[in-house]
């Protein structure tokens, strides 16, 4: 655990007692604070009380006013669409509002670091899509070379729940926009921006607020090195703002699909090959086409980001390349869950928005596409070109399946509503060489608690129908 520093004797509110909230309360107590906890869910309050934490209704103005600060869990809105009432009280009364990420960055460094041969590093990854795979891939590469590495944040362990890093240790954080938006301290050594596509727009007041939340990771603390995906205008703008000039190699520009040029530090993937250029010279080239855990152009972008992050730590290209080949990928992200009669079954339940689904569709040919769910803002138009090029037929699930199918203009679509029907129909239609792909392009909450549960259902249905042939 990372005890929170500078809080001894302070009464600090903790709003939301899910995983991150409860860990924050423990870390605050370890640092000598007095956490005052609250959650609207009685079961969550009972769990906190069972650990000896004081609970109090933080919706009372006098209670909030007695706090030194308020720590808010990521799922609780602090500004848009409207602030949570407790947060609103804190804002009105001038009580500082923070989250566990802010506590982490202000508490991680220790006087013992002065005795280390190599000071610990923090690599923080954000972006709309690919941040989980990128973070996990960096962690995998570091483990492959025997480097002390811990994976935390929006993936792996809670940030305050990790062990204090030792000599040369690396902490790899996946950070969502919910986490970067509120943190009062953001000081990674290396910051990674994968890409940007419309998502969580209600939570951030539109696309500008969403980008601003991501940008804070780079603007607040000033990382020593920034790795920026430049396939969208926002990434190009961010790289430009961070760089002192074309040759400034504190900014590494990455891309998937376009050749980058100039005197700076560049990593890009084209036609299945990752290439690194620095100071106008090619440094390395890696063939990604045979890497099973990183299929498709979107995963090649993830590979570029992870490669660049590890290069900033001094790892050699061939060492990174070897680690790529042993990376198994993450569940629910282009995960091959079975094969039967020449048909592959791929679980990409994490493709919850249009951009992620389009990238998943572009990674495979002859697709029997299972899609649908709780549609997000913006419609489906942006994925139709990829669907027309790669999809043989769509099988639509979700409570609004009929409407979703209508929006798939030009794509043959069958309304199936539930996962069992969709998998059975796709399997019945599939021919050798086809891929049955779950890439919903929608949230899961109309039928499932989360995208993991949806992906697990897909995997279970596939396993049941192919008779244990999944692997």
CB-based contact 78:179 (threshold 8 Å): no
DSSP-assigned letter for residue 165: P
Distance CA 22, CA 421 (A): 39
Determine how many CB atoms are found less than 10 A away from the CB of residue 279.
10
In our burial notation (b when 16+ CB lie closer than 10 A, e otherwise), range 195-205 reads: bbbbbbbebbe
Gap between the Cα atoms of 159 and 151, Å rounded: 9
H/E element, 455:
helix 451-466
Start-to-end CA span in the chain (Å): 36
Among 320, 331, 307, which Cα is nearest to 455's? Answer: 331
Q: Which of 379, 364, 349, 334 is nearest to 439 (CA)?
A: 349
Q: Is residue 114 annotated as involved in ligand binding?
A: no
Sequence length of the chain is 471
Question: 36, 11 in Cβ contact below 8 A?
Answer: yes
Between CA 323 and CA 10 the distance in angstroms is 46
61 Cβ contact list (under 8 Å, min separation 6): 89, 93
Is 130 one of the annotated binding-site residues? yes
Given its phi and psi angles, is residue 212 left (phi above 0), alpha (psi -120 to 50 degrees) or beta? alpha
Residue 93 CA to chain centroid, in angstroms?
33
DSSP annotation of 399 = T
Give dist(CA 442, CA 420) in Å, integer: 18
Residues 6+ apart with CB under 8 A from 406: none
Q: Binding residue per annotation — 132?
A: yes
**Feature table: binding site:** 127-133
Residue ranges at the known binding site for ATP: 127-133
């Amino acid at each position: 655990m990372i005890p929170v520093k500078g809080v001894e004797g302070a009464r600090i509110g903790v709003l939301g007692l899910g995983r991150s909230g409860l860990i924050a309360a423990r870390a605050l107590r370890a640092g000598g604070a007095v956490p005052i906890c609250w959650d609207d869910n009685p079961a969550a309050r009972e769990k906190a009380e069972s650990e000896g934490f004081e609970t109090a209704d933080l919706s009372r103005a006098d209670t909030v006013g007695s706090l030194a600060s308020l720590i808010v869990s990521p799922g609780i809105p602090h500004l848009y669409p409207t602030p949570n009432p407790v947060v609103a009280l804190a804002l009105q009364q001038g009580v500082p509002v923070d989250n566990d990420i802010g506590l982490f960055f202000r508490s991680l460094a220790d006087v013992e670091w002065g005795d280390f041969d190599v000071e610990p590093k923090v690599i923080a990854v954000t972006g709309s899509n690919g941040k989980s795979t990128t973070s996990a891939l960096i962690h995998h590469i570091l483990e492959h070379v025997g480097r002390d590495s811990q994976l935390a944040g929006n993936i792996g362990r809670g940030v305050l729940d990790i062990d204090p890093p030792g000599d040369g240790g690396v902490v790899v954080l996946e950070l969502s926009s919910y986490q970067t938006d509120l943190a009062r301290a953001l000081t990674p050594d290396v910051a990674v921006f994968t890409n940007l596509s419309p998502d969580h727009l209600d939570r951030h007041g539109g696309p500008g607020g969403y980008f601003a939340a991501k940008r804070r990771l780079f603007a607040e603390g000033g990382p020593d090195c920034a790795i920026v995906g430049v396939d969208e205008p926002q990434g190009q703008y961010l790289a430009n703002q961070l760089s002192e000039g074309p040759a400034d190699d504190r900014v590494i520009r990455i891309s998937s699909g376009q050749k980058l040029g100039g005197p700076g530090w560049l990593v890009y993937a084209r036609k299945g090959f990752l290439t690194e250029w620095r100071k106008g010279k090619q440094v390395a080239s890696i063939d990604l086409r045979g890497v099973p855990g990183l299929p498709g152009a979107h995963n090649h972008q993830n590979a570029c980001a992870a490669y660049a992050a590890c290069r900033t730590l001094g790892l050699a290209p061939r060492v990174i390349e070897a680690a790529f080949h042993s990376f198994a990928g993450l569940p629910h992200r282009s995960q091959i869950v079975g094969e039967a009669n020449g048909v592959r079954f791929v679980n990409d339940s994490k493709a919850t928005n249009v951009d992620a689904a389009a990238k998943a569709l572009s990674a495979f040919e002859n697709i029997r596409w299972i899609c649908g769910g709780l549609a997000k803002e913006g419609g489906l138009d942006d994925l139709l070109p990829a669907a027309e090029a790669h999809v043989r037929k769509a099988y639509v699930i979700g409570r609004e399946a009929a409407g979703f199918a209508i929006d798939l203009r030009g794509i043959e679509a069958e309304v199936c509503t539930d996962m069992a029907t969709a998998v059975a129909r796709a399997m019945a239609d599939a021919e050798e060489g086809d891929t049955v792909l779950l890439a919903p392009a929608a949230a899961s909450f109309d039928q499932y608690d989360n995208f993991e549960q949806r992906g697990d259902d897909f995997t279970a249905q596939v396993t049941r129908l192919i008779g244990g042939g999944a692997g």
